[in-house]
């Protein structure tokens, strides 16, 4: 086999299982390109054979283009705003591209150009988006072929600490920065429910939480809408569906605590003088006194002011919320790490207290719930469920379930088995079935049930 040159842009935590997968083939050579050479080298050190580490300034379009031109395929695991530049370079030099990100309008603009150049730009091939599409499309296609209808499609997915490692009031841990997770709480969710479009704007998102009926009492999650689910009538070819919801999962307790923090202003990015890096030391209780406008920073005064300001006097989980704030150190003399504003100062505390520790494992849970009407009119509820655990000392479930599908799509393109051109997502059985077959060989499986 002739040598295949793979350009990997980004060396984040999903990169290792990707590299691991593609290096099974001796003809594959991987160039790991990262903003800092040291990060690329750290990843390379895990795979010393057939890899090269380079530094690249991802905002430098010419540097990206030069790298793309020297490879057969580019895997873009850098922030999504840079993907369009990678695709532009790939179109120009007739190279293929894979990303795990949603197709953005800026990426879609290259669809015709990609077709004209005869290249494959495969996107949305991680976990969510990725594995979720594979199994949604599979069941939908199966039901349609049998003459049935999908009346409801409800899908929830998320990465959480495994239950035994969910040992904090949020039941949540960060694999990377806290900032993105917190800012996502401001997103607007849109979905279709009983024939009506429902829009939940940022502040109400945590109130819209519902208890999931997973069919597995041992997996009792709550969930809320994730981005805009309304285009999925077209994307999944289910115009007949009256309910289409895609969402994220959390353990119960997270939304109530998060909502109180959002109401108190913890997502605020405006500069605050006493949180400036060059301001004097300040404790959490002093910061909280400022946040809630309390006259003193003793715990009882702060709690009363928090209840008032957050409007949580009648909240059933009030004690959980206050315990959570105590756990965060809000009533203590612990000095904050000043990062200029409340959001980033809060992130510093979260990142310190909510990291995965050595030996801990995460879990990814994905479930589709389909309300089906069969050809003869009978109703049926089907679920497709994936539950993956990370391996302490090995790959996290999140890294594996994003990196491996991406590796599989890459290998299929290199082998000439995924040949559709244009800016693609896994939305057809022709593209998806070969990926599913290889995923199952990696023991990433979905369990289908008819309830
Ligand atoms: C590296 O490439 C050489 C030459 O193609 C091949 O013989 C070897 O098996 C590869 N090693 C790995 C770890 O892929």
Q: Which of 66, 111, 128, 167 is catalytic?
A: 128
Q: How far is the CA of 127 from the centre of ligand 1 (A)?
A: 29
Atom 8 of ligand 1, residue of closest alpha carbon: 26
128 is catalytic: yes
Rounded to the nearest integer, the mean pLDDT of the chain is 96
**Residue located via tokens 């295949």:** 4
Atom 13 of ligand 1, residue of closest alpha carbon: 49
Pocket of ligand 1 contains residue 47 by CB under 6 Å: no
Residue 91 counted as domain residue:
yes
Tokens of 275: 């949180």
Pocket of ligand 1 contains residue 23 by CB under 6 Å: yes
Atom 9 of ligand 1, residue of closest alpha carbon: 26
- Ligand 1, residue 27: give the atom nearest the CA: 5
pLDDT digits (tens, 9 = 90+) for 419-446: 999 999 999 999 999 999 999 999 998 9
Q: How far is the CA of 29 from the centre of ligand 1 (A)?
A: 8
Q: How far is the CA of 47 from the centre of ligand 1 (A)?
A: 11
- Ligand 1, residue 49: give the atom nearest the CA: 13
- Ligand 1, residue 50: give the atom nearest the CA: 1
- pTM attached to this predicted model: 0.94
Instruction: Report the C-alpha gap between 295 and 298 in whole angstroms.
Output: 9
pLDDT digits (tens, 9 = 90+) for 54-90: 999 999 999 999 999 999 999 999 999 999 999 999 9
pLDDT digits (tens, 9 = 90+) for 384-398: 999 999 999 999 999
Pocket of ligand 1 contains residue 286 by CB under 6 Å: no
- Ligand 1, residue 47: give the atom nearest the CA: 13
Pocket of ligand 1 contains residue 46 by CB under 6 Å: no
Residue 42 counted as domain residue:
yes
For residue 104, give its domain range.
4-123
pLDDT on residue 177: 80
Atom 2 of ligand 1, residue of closest alpha carbon: 26
Q: How far is the CA of 50 from the centre of ligand 1 (A)?
A: 6
**Residue located via tokens 């109703």:** 379
Instruction: Convert the chain into a string of H (helix), E (strand) and C (coil).
Output: CCCEEEEEECCCCCHHHHHHHHCCCCCEEEEEEECCHHHHHHHHHHCCCCEEEEECCCCCHHHHHHHHHCCCEEEECCCHHHHHHHHHHHHHHCCEEEECCCCCHHHHCCHHHHHHHCCEEECCCEECCEHHHHHHHHHHHHHHHCCCEEEEEEEEEEEEECHHHCCCCCCCCECCCHHHHHHHHHCCEEEEECCEEEEECHHHHHHHCEECCCCCCCCCEEEEECCECCCHHHHCCCCCCCEEEEEEEEECCHHHHHHHHHHHCCCCCCECHHHCCCCCCCEHHHHHHHHHCCCCCCHHHHHHHHHHHHCCCCCCCHHHHHHHHHHHCCCCCCECCCCCEHHHHHHHHHHHHCECCCCCCEEEEEEEEEEEECCCCCEEEEEEEEEEECCCCCCCHHHHHHHHHHHHHHHHHHCCCCCCCEEECCCCHHHHHHHHHHHHHCCCCCEEEEC
Pocket of ligand 1 contains residue 2 by CB under 6 Å: no
Total of domains in the chain? 1
Contact 253, 298 (CB under 8 A): no
Pocket of ligand 1 contains residue 443 by CB under 6 Å: no
Atom 7 of ligand 1, residue of closest alpha carbon: 26
Tokens of 417: 């088995």
Residue 333 counted as domain residue:
no
pLDDT on residue 184: 87
Q: How far is the CA of 225 from the centre of ligand 1 (A)?
A: 45
Whether 1 shows a pLDDT value over 80: the answer reads no
Atom 14 of ligand 1, residue of closest alpha carbon: 26
Residue 17 counted as domain residue:
yes
Residue 346 counted as domain residue:
no
Contact 138, 436 (CB under 8 A): yes
pLDDT on residue 175: 78
Whether 173 shows a pLDDT value over 90: the answer reads yes
Q: Is the peptide bond before 193 cis (omega within 30 degrees of 0)?
A: no
Residue 260 counted as domain residue:
no
Residue 39 counted as domain residue:
yes
Instruction: Report the C-alpha gap between 217 and 430 in whole angstroms.
Output: 35
Q: How far is the CA of 51 from the centre of ligand 1 (A)?
A: 10
CATH of the domain at 41: 3.40.50.720
Residue 206 counted as domain residue:
no
Q: Give the mean pLDDT of 113-131.
A: 98
pLDDT digits (tens, 9 = 90+) for 197-206: 999 987 789 8
Q: Give the mean pLDDT of 123-148.
A: 98
Contact 399, 17 (CB under 8 A): yes
Whether 293 shows a pLDDT value over 90: the answer reads yes
Atom 3 of ligand 1, residue of closest alpha carbon: 26
Whether 7 shows a pLDDT value over 80: the answer reads yes
Of 130, 69, 136, nearest to 97 by C-alpha is 69
Strands 96-99 and 73-76, bridge-based pairing: parallel
Confidence label for 207 from pLDDT (cuts 50, 70 and 90) = confident
Question: 23: Cβ–Cβ under 8 A, 6 or more apart, which residues?
Answer: 30, 47, 49, 50, 51
């Amino acid at each position: 086999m002739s040598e295949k040159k793979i350009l990997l842009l980004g060396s984040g935590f999903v990169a290792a299982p990707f590299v691991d997968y593609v290096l099974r083939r001796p003809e594959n050579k991987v160039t790991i390109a990262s903003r800092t050479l040291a990060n690329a080298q750290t990843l390379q050190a895990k795979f010393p054979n057939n890899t090269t580490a380079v530094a690249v300034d991802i905002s430098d379009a010419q540097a990206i283009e030069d790298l793309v031109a020297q490879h057969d395929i580019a895997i873009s695991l850098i922030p999504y705003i840079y993907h369009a530049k990678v695709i532009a370079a790939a179109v120009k030099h007739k190279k293929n591209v894979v990303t795990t990100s949603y197709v953005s309008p800026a990426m879609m603009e290259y669809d015709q150009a990609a077709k004209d150049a005869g290249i494959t730009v495969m996107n949305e091939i991680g976990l969510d988006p990725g594995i979720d599409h594979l199994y949604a499309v599979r069941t939908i296609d199966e039901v349609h072929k049998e003459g049935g209808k999908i009346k409801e499609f409800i899908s929830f997915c998320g990465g959480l600490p495994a239950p035994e490692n969910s040992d904090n009031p949020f039941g949540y841990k960060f694999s990377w920065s806290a900032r993105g997770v917190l800012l996502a709480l401001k997103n607007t969710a849109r979905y279709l429910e009983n024939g009506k479009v429902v829009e939940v704007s940022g502040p109400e998102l945590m109130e819209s939480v519902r208890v999931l009926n997973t069919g597995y009492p041992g997996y009792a999650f709550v969930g809320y809408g994730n981005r805009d689910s309304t285009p999925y009538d077209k994307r999944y070819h289910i115009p007949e569906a009256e309910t289409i919801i895609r969402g994220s999962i959390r353990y119960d307790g997270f939304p109530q605590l998060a909502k109180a923090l959002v109401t108190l202003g913890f997502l605020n990015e405006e500069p605050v003088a006493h949180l400036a890096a060059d301001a004097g030391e300040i404790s959490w209780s002093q910061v909280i006194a400022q946040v809630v406008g309390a006259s003193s920073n003793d715990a009882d005064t702060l709690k009363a002011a928090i209840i008032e300001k957050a409007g949580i006097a009648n909240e059933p989980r009030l004690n959980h919320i206050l315990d959570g704030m105590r756990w965060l150190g809000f009533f203590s003399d612990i000095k904050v790490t000043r990062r200029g504003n409340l959001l980033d100062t809060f992130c510093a505390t979260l990142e310190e207290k909510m990291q995965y520790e050595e030996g801990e494992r995460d879990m990814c849970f994905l479930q589709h719930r389909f309300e089906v009407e069969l050809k003869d009119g009978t109703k049926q509820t089907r679920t497709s469920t994936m539950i993956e655990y990370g391996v302490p000392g090995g790959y996290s479930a999140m890294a594996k379930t994003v990196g491996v599908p991406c590796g599989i799509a890459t290998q299929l393109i290199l082998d000439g088995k995924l040949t559709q051109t244009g800016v693609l997502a896994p939305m057809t059985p022709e593209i998806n079935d070969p990926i599913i077959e290889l995923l199952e060989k990696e023991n990433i499986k979905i369990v289908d049930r008819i309830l």
